[in-house]
Amino acid sequence: MSQIAAVLFERKYQDMYGWENLVSLILIFIILLSLVKLVGVLNLSTGIFPFNCVPVSGKVFICIR
């Protein structure tokens, strides 16, 4: 079901803005996701929060230096 939704969204997005914006959007999303994962992994592996971290949802943290 989620794959169908993703395909529909991609088609709509391509029709509106074209391929370049779609690719840049996906790249930005992947970069943000990997940063969030990296921060989460660092925090979970060390067990010591280098910043003041607040868990938002599940394994997502907001960290303030």
CA distance 8 to 13: 9
For the chain, the domains span 2-64
pLDDT mean over 17-23: 70
pTM score, whole prediction: 0.36
Percentage above 90 pLDDT, the chain = 0
pLDDT band at 37 (very low <50, low <70, confident <90, very high): confident
Give the mean model confidence (pLDDT) for residues 38-43: 67
9 or 33, which is more confident:
33
Question: Where are any strands of DSSP class E within 1-65?
Answer: 52-57, 60-64
CA distance 58 to 15: 35
